[in-house]
């Protein structure tokens, strides 16, 4: 530092916790670059790429079209196709003008929090839960209100939670719900979802529904908040079911009075979502047979984990009803999930995510295992983990 010159510090709002899953991925990538045989079960990324129809359409666009900006709210043809998807999958009519195409679901969360809440607003989130929910709120001067969930509540926020929080000092302005959830894979039954939405309506609380794992379920049917209300903000993505993580494309369905505010934010933040991704994604809805076969592969991986883990002494985990994660209690082996995952990666090349990423209070004895990879890698990872635990 030059003598007499003041030190310029990062902003207070940038002081958010790291997303440890991405830190683990960085460490795993470094080991792989050094020649180690690494099995990455730390991030929620399908190991199979985008459907062929999507890739073919993108190649056609690159070869033949001038790629410019789209409207800030997204390509009209894509918004219409998403509206058709809601009619076909959920039986609900969503006007295309209420659909906003975003730069991944991450962009949608940022827009939702900015458009729906003023600084200081109190928003309830399940704990354990997805780390960026908390980080985005902290950066925007919102107050995250963690709600500890467990087997007794199906690892989900309930109507009773909302009722109780609304009568606490400060009240409640919003609720963030995810079904299927990350990291637990838990899902809200239809009656519970309806009751939760009813409680939010009764108290004037805004609901944001994260539905990015819809399409990836195991024996249960997922429900959209749009089946019960037009007042919720619903967020979805092409990354998970549609296997388009790196295309950075998501969408949100918003109440009519939020369309114009969100459009203005998009115009100033990033103009529009990537044009090639948007145009190619229209074809993704024609690939459900191919995509459902991939989900069947996740189900087989899930079976591998649920059979192998109890044999190692890992017998307690969240329900794994949807998404492609298993959130496991490893307290027989550690009360320091950060150290546990670091040693496991270094010793065996298996990358898992420490539970403290999702629950700073109680996650020290939990890990999240992603089973979005191949069956061979999933089985090999379980063999390595079992050998390591046995010493």
pLDDT of the residue at 25: 85
Per-residue pLDDT band at 287 (split at 50, 70, 90): very high
When pLDDT is averaged across residues 86-98 and rounded to a whole number, the result is 97
Alpha-carbon separation of residue 87 from 84, 94, 236, 325, 332 (angstroms): 5, 8, 15, 28, 47
pLDDT of the residue at 7: 84
The reply to whether 136 and 32 lie within a common domain is: no
The reply to whether 18 and 138 lie within a common domain is: no
Give the SS3 label for residue 204.
coil
Q: What is the Cβ-side half-sphere exposure of residue 3, based on CA atoms within 13 angstroms? A: 0
CA angle 353, 297, 152 (to 5 degrees): 55
Rounded percentage of the chain residues whose pLDDT exceeds 90: 90
pLDDT of the residue at 64: 83
**Lowest mean pLDDT segment, chosen from 24-28, 74-78, 181-185, 266-270:** 24-28
The reply to whether 133 and 195 lie within a common domain is: yes
Residue 5 resides in a domain: no
Indicate whether 1 pLDDT > 70. no
Kindly give the residue spans of alpha helices, DSSP state H, lying in 205-330. Answer: 256-269, 275-281, 288-311
The reply to whether 188 and 97 lie within a common domain is: yes
250 beta partners:
102, 237
Cis ω for the linkage preceding 204 (within 30 of 0): no
Q: Return the residue matching tokens 């209300």.
A: 229
The reply to whether 170 and 154 lie within a common domain is: yes
Per-residue pLDDT band at 15 (split at 50, 70, 90): confident
Cα–Cα distance measured from residue 168 to residue 177, given in angstroms and rounded to the nearest whole number? 20
When pLDDT is averaged across residues 172-186 and rounded to a whole number, the result is 97
When pLDDT is averaged across residues 192-212 and rounded to a whole number, the result is 98
Please write the tens of the pLDDT for every residue from 321-349. Answer: 999 999 999 999 999 999 999 999 999 99
The reply to whether 38 and 154 lie within a common domain is: no
Domain that holds residue 112: 52-286
What CATH number did the domain enclosing 226 receive?
3.40.640.10
Please write the tens of the pLDDT for every residue from 22-63. Answer: 888 898 899 899 999 999 998 888 989 999 999 999 999 999
Q: Return the residue matching tokens 């790429």.
A: 49
Indicate whether 65 pLDDT > 80. no
Per-residue pLDDT band at 2 (split at 50, 70, 90): low
What is the domain count for the chain? 2
Domain end position, chosen among 270, 286, 302: 286
When pLDDT is averaged across residues 115-137 and rounded to a whole number, the result is 95
When pLDDT is averaged across residues 127-141 and rounded to a whole number, the result is 94
Q: What mean pLDDT is reported for the chain?
A: 95
Residue 4 resides in a domain: no
Give the pairing of strands 325-329 and 366-370. Answer: antiparallel
When pLDDT is averaged across residues 292-306 and rounded to a whole number, the result is 97
pLDDT of the residue at 3: 66
When pLDDT is averaged across residues 159-163 and rounded to a whole number, the result is 97
Taking the CA atoms of the chain, what radius of gyration do you get in angstroms?
21
């Amino acid at each position: 530092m030059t003598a007499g010159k003041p030190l310029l510090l990062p902003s207070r709002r940038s002081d958010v916790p790291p997303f440890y899953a991405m830190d683990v991925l960085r460490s795993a990538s470094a080991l792989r670059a050094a020649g180690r045989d690494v099995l990455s079960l730390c991030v929620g990324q399908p190991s199979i790429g985008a459907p062929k129809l999507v890739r073919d359409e993108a190649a056609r666009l690159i070869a033949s079209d001038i790629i410019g900006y789209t409207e800030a709210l997204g390509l009209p043809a894509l918004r219409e196709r998403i509206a058709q998807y809601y009619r076909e999958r959920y039986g609900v009519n969503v006007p295309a003008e209420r659909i906003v195409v975003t730069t991944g679901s991450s962009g949608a969360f940022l827009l939702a929090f900015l458009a729906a809440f003023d600084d200081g607003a109190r928003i309830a989130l399940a704990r354990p839960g997805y780390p960026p929910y908390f980080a985005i709120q902290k950066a925007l001067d919102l107050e995250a209100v963690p709600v500890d969930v467990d087997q007794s509540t199906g690892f989900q926020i309930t109507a009773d939670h909302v009722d109780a929080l609304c009568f606490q000092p400060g009240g409640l302005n919003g609720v963030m719900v995810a079904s299927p959830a990350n990291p637990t894979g838990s899902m809200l039954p239809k009656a519970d979802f309806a009751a939760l939405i009813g409680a939010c309506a009764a108290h004037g609380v805004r609901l944001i529904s994260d539905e990015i794992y819809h399409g990836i379920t195991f024996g249960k049917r997922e429900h959209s908040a749009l089946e019960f209300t037009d007042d919720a903000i619903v967020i979805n993505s092409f990354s998970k079911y549609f296997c388009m993580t790196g295309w950075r494309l998501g969408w949100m369905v918003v109440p009519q009075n939020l369309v114009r505010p969100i459009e203005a934010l998009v115009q100033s933040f990033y103009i529009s979502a990537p044009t090639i991704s948007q145009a190619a994604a229209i074809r993704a809805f024609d690939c459900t047979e191919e995509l459902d076969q991939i989900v069947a592969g996740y189900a087989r991986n899930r079976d591998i984990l649920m059979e192998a883990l109890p044999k190692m002494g890992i017998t307690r985990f969240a329900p794994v009803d949807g998404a492609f994660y298993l959130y496991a209690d490893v307290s027989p082996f550690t009360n320091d999930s950060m150290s546990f995952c670091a040693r496991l990666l270094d010793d065996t090349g298996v990358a898992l995510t420490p539970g403290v990423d999702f629950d700073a209070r109680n996650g020290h004895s939990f890990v999240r295992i992603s089973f979005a990879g191949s069956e061979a890698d999933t089985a090999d990872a379980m063999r390595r983990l079992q050998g390591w635990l046995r010493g």
